A and B are shown apart, each in its own frame.
Chain A
């Protein structure tokens, strides 16, 4: 049984149709990467999953239960679905430890001792145990994003959403975040990622969704999608990602990754 099922989700912002009848089912342990041009509805789709956006029509089911947008139901849902944002959104006035333990202690009633142990555990998972007493302002972007991942992990969610989490990072900091993602994927975490990191998508995703004009235009396992795109839109997107990308670095890495995968 899928852990998450979206059926016929549509959403408009004014006259613009952001999501157009999107249906999607995600199995436990699955890693799904959503790719596509900006404005194709990727982030909106992701934000609909945990109720940050409300679809105009369609249904969402999580763990077999229909999602109703009441405050209480939303809180319950967010105990099980974590999210990591592009701009980290750490709490600047709290230490790394408190950032990580706030959710478990305030929302789940975890005792302070247990929460402290939990913080060490999840920070170890993102290789930042030594930064436990630091404040977000003292960390690099990559470190902040890894704390944000640890913060999501501390809730012990059944699904984590990642919204372009490397898009705001300097090139040299992307790798450390990607490594953490790969580790999580390998450990069997259920993940839905909106990403521009094609190399990562290719290596670690079980399934790729290509979104275009608010629809899931094409989907399938990475090898199939990247090697044999069925639609002109996907073909031109892959082309654009490979050739227009101004950083040769990213191009090189894609080729290197592709070489391993091919």
Chain B
């Protein structure tokens, strides 16, 4: 028999949460920057750029994030003889992964703005960047908030995959505690509960934002 699951073990799990959050937040920021670039290029007139970004999105949405992580962690080492540590590897993999999804969410939001809005803006003699900045992006941003927050929930849960290459975040901490206590039926429900506590407020936030945006844009439901 191993150790019993006590306060020390519980604290060990809690201390792993910042790493889960750091990875999620890092991927969100990096993926966010990448996503904006992708969304803009995907809606841009230049065809090669559109193909390139479309290929990127198809690749990252069509393959498991675990494989992406393996390719970054082992692939770079094998192919280019670049040794990356666990933290940079997971951060890079999840940034690329988030970039593909956020880019697609935001592209959809930009394209959801009706064409006449572009026309009206261009007929006021606004330049293309001005049309985007003053008219299209503020409206697209509002549309995109609920699915973006929804994706954040998905991202936090997906970071558990980082455990596989030994990056100690919440799930890996759970594995370690299971190995020392041999009590998976105590440890993993607690790990799951901790994920739930991280994700649930975000889910609630997404729902609330959705309602607020409908009200703010004056979506009249009189039909």
Assess whether A151 is in contact with B124, with CB atoms less than 8 Å apart: yes
Determine the chain A residues whose CB is within 8 A of the CB of B135 once the complex forms: 91, 102
Contact of A52 among B121, B123, B125, B138 (CB under 8 A): B123
At the interface, yes or no: B158 with Cβ under 8 Å from chain A? no
Query: In the complex, A91→B142 CA distance in Å?
Result: 13
Q: Which of B34-42, B80-88, B126-134 contacts A (4 or more CB under 8 A)?
A: B126-134
Q: Which of B52-60, B94-102, B112-120, B177-185 contacts A (4 or more CB under 8 A)?
A: B112-120
Query: In the complex, A211→B127 CA distance in Å?
Result: 33
Assess whether B139 is in contact with A78, with CB atoms less than 8 Å apart: no
Assess whether A83 is in contact with B123, with CB atoms less than 8 Å apart: yes
Assess whether B217 is in contact with A103, with CB atoms less than 8 Å apart: no
A-B Cβ contacts below 8 A, count: 64
Assess whether A106 is in contact with B134, with CB atoms less than 8 Å apart: yes
Assess whether A103 is in contact with B126, with CB atoms less than 8 Å apart: yes
User: B52: shortest Cβ distance to chain A, in Å?
Assistant: 24
Cβ < 8 Å to B, chain A residues 10-41: none
Closest to B127 in A: A75
Assess whether B124 is in contact with A103, with CB atoms less than 8 Å apart: yes
Determine the chain B residues whose CB is within 8 A of the CB of A135 once the complex forms: 218
Most buried by B among A79, A83, A91, A135: A91
Assess whether A155 is in contact with B134, with CB atoms less than 8 Å apart: no
Contact of A92 among B122, B123, B127, B218 (CB under 8 A): B218
Determine the chain B residues whose CB is within 8 A of the CB of A255 once the complex forms: none
Determine the chain B residues whose CB is within 8 A of the CB of A91 once the complex forms: 117, 120-121, 134-135, 139
User: Interface size of A by Cβ–Cβ distance < 8 Å?
Assistant: 28
User: B19: shortest Cβ distance to chain A, in Å?
Assistant: 38
Assess whether B120 is in contact with A85, with CB atoms less than 8 Å apart: yes
Closest to B130 in A: A106
Assess whether A136 is in contact with B218, with CB atoms less than 8 Å apart: yes
Determine the chain B residues whose CB is within 8 A of the CB of A106 once the complex forms: 124, 126, 130, 134
At the interface, yes or no: A114 with Cβ under 8 Å from chain B? no
Contact of A137 among B122, B134, B217 (CB under 8 A): B217
Can you sample 24 A-B contacts with CB below 8 Å? A50-B123, A75-B127, A78-B124, A78-B125, A83-B123, A85-B119, A87-B116, A91-B134, A91-B135, A93-B138, A93-B142, A102-B124, A102-B134, A102-B135, A106-B124, A106-B126, A106-B130, A106-B134, A107-B125, A108-B125, A136-B218, A137-B219, A138-B218, A151-B124
Contact surface of B with A, Cβ cutoff 8 Å: 116-117, 119-128, 130, 134-135, 138-139, 142, 217-220
